[in-house]
Structure 1
């Protein structure tokens, strides 16, 4: 499958889940150009069904990748810094180490200035479910669309000690506010 068709199918999948209104964004600084001419970050505004912004990679993986992955992150407000954050993650995935379910990434800074959420946990797209999670193309090629959930250093330490599944259970039990970059730790964990 050629790149144009592949990216058209990825875009159509996002649109079928989140609606037709979006912006394709770029970031002229940093590693953006390494990701190729087709790579973009999509910004989907809130809708009557969803009261948050969604930022998603388009072309983080290539059709030929053994495990094709695209990521998204949610925000309570329009936030262009998430464009840069997703580009950094996409670059790491493409040129550093392949990412997958329950992997974590280190942004090297807070989600926003003053935020203690400086890591991202790659999670299933629980808010959208299986309809978004997997797109199957020709020859049974699957692309996985996962949610990048901002987490704190204590939450990362807990994940390393007890596993991502247990961390996600606690997030659900305690009602993680995944839209608040300034939220408190859900877990105060000391090794």
Structure 2
């Protein structure tokens, strides 16, 4: 009797695990569709639109690196919920296109996985939720300790920083961050 139950139990466990994996991927796909919709509605209306009623965040920008086909919707803040669904805009940093440094952060294994493929000189397009478009050029990168980013919040230039954990292939938390710096080269309002 025990031998006949074991394959059935194993098959049931396998089915539950498979279903859980499908559910997670379906939820992630649906979230991206809802984020895109909320961002498009924000651009059209000029108002912050939450992607779902209970969200604690809303889309504030879209980042694109066309050379490598990368695109991500940036959410306001860096709460756990926000970073689960996309890059977050670091509080107390300016919005893209403003004087100072706009800083966006995301997980290295999801939404900022593409940063490993960004080369110096690549163009990074940022469209804000108010419809304003800014073009930046990647000009430097660094690996720094999480508490020593080297980001100067008093800069008088128009800068963008995309930050994620380092190294890209690590499976555990890491004390280092990869910081990609870019400078504004063009504005379309």
Task: Please report the TM-score for the alignment, with normalisation by the length of structure 1.
Answer: 0.31
Question: Which has the larger strand fraction?
Answer: 2
Larger radius of gyration: 2
Task: Please report the TM-score for the alignment, with normalisation by the length of structure 2.
Answer: 0.31
